[in-house]
């Protein structure tokens, strides 16, 4: 692991910035990022992550996993996800230090080999209408979905979600599946005056995921890692994850491990039956690829759009999602929401012998709001 030249001051700044800009609704993580930024052992641990994974949220997830495993009782007192009620105080730094000292081998494995895999199914609030847009753009009704960087592949069950949209006039509207008391349900604000998505005129006939390390939700330890990637206070997300995992077990889903996920796209296309529209999904995965990998993915997808009719739904930070031209302006966001992690959803597909692109929507990265633009 090459990390001798990594400046701890840079890592401290990274942690503090993440706490300040990304954790406004998780005060424990604001305080924990501050504590870690001043702890040489925490900074040394972060240097052990590969460059593309050297991010504050991976360190936070590793610590959370130890808490959920019952291996960090000092920290657990602060974590609502583990029954803790203690508000972040002067004792947090000592609790962090104790966890780092005792759980170093397990934490080291997470940092060296782990990846944040939230697999947030609430992105379905944007993905569900985006699939409708793909169906309309391609004229297809039967879709084959490939989730690139799929983690556990939970988003492959997007059509089984119960979606509740609240419009600006305070009214609630339901889309997606019928509630039955067991299905995962998503609550989202529908911002602006764009019409709500129509009921689905499409259906998913094939569901496939590809990932360098796909997560088996039947494995309690792997499911615990997904839970560890969630914010500790968010009981609603934990319940939604549990329900989505239970639903997934009854879906006809295929997950493939691939060291080179980009190279796996074309063989997947070649194996599809006639009459289905192939759709590639990337959601908050390009963030973890190098610039060269992103460029290669874009070139590959455009080539396959023209040769095989592949459509691409991309939900990422705007600098990654919007290829052509400037991103559309952000909407006025609900109180307390920040623009720094807003997700831009785009659709690319082949039309009249060329690759077309349309910006579909802005959304919160966890689906709390959607501002539809078109499609």
For residue 115, the model assigns a pLDDT of 80
Q: Give pLDDT tens digits for 71-92.
A: 999 999 999 999 999 999 999 9
Q: Which helix (H) or strand (E) holds 128?
A: helix 124-138
Q: What is the mean pLDDT of residues 310-323?
A: 91
**Residue 118's pLDDT band (cuts 50, 70, 90):** low
Which structure tokens are listed for 81?
A: 């996800």
Q: Give pLDDT tens digits for 239-250.
A: 999 999 999 888
Which of 61-70, 215-224, 265-274 is predicted with the least confidence, judged by mean pLDDT?
215-224
Q: Give pLDDT tens digits for 28-46.
A: 999 999 999 999 999 999 9
For residue 287, the model assigns a pLDDT of 83
**Of 116-130, 184-198, 295-309, where does the model show the most confidence?**
295-309
What backbone torsions phi and psi does residue 275 show, to the nearest 5 degrees?
Answer: 90, 5
Q: What is the mean pLDDT of residues 319-343?
A: 86
CA-CA distance, 29 to 51, in Å (whole number)?
A: 22
For residue 259, the model assigns a pLDDT of 93
CA-CA distance, 220 to 29, in Å (whole number)?
A: 25
Q: Give pLDDT tens digits for 178-205.
A: 999 999 999 999 999 899 988 778 999 9
Average pLDDT, the chain: 92
Residue among 312, 308, 333, 7 at smallest CA distance from 130 = 312
Does the structure show a pLDDT above 70 at 2?
Answer: no
Does the structure show a pLDDT above 90 at 7?
Answer: no
User: For the chain, what are the domain ranges?
Assistant: 8-113, 121-372
């Amino acid at each position: 692991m090459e990390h001798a030249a990594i400046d701890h001051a840079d890592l401290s700044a990274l942690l503090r910035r993440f706490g300040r800009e990304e954790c406004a609704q998780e005060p424990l993580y604001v305080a924990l990022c501050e504590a870690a930024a001043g702890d040489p052992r925490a900074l040394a641990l972060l240097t052990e992550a590969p460059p593309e994974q050297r991010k504050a949220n991976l360190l936070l997830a590793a610590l959370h996993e130890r808490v959920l495993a019952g291996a960090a009782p000092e920290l657990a007192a602060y974590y609502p996800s583990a029954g803790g009620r203690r508000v972040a105080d002067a004792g947090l730094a000592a609790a962090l230090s104790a966890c780092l000292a005792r759980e170093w081998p397990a934490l080291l494995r997470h940092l060296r080999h782990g990846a944040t895999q939230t697999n947030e199914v609430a992105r379905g609030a944007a993905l569900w209408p985006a699939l409708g847009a793909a169906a309309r753009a391609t004229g297809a009704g039967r879709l084959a979905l490939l989730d690139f960087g799929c983690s556990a592949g939970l988003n492959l069950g997007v059509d089984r979600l119960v979606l509740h949209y609240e419009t600006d006039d305070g009214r609630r509207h339901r889309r997606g599946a019928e509630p039955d008391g067991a299905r995962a349900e998503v609550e989202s604000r529908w911002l602006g005056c764009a019409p709500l998505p129509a009921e689905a005129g499409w259906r998913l006939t094939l569901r496939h995921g590809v990932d360098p390390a796909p997560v088996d939700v039947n494995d309690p330890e792997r499911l615990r890692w997904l839970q560890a990637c969630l914010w500790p206070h968010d009981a609603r997300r934990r319940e939604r994850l549990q329900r989505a995992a239970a639903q997934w077990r009854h879906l006809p889903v295929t997950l493939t491990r691939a060291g080179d996920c980009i190279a796996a796209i074309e063989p997947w296309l070649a194996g599809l039956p006639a009459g289905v529209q192939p759709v590639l999904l990337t959601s908050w995965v390009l963030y973890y690829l190098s610039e060269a990998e992103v460029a290669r993915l874009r070139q590959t997808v455009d080539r396959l759009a023209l040769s095989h009719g592949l459509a691409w739904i991309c939900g990422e930070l705007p600098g990654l999602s919007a290829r052509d031209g400037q991103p559309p302006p952000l909407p006025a966001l609900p109180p307390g929401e920040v623009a720094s992690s807003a997700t831009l959803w785009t659709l690319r597909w082949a039309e009249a012998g060329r690759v077309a692109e349309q910006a579909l929507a802005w959304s919160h990265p966890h689906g709390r709001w959607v501002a539809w633009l078109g499609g």
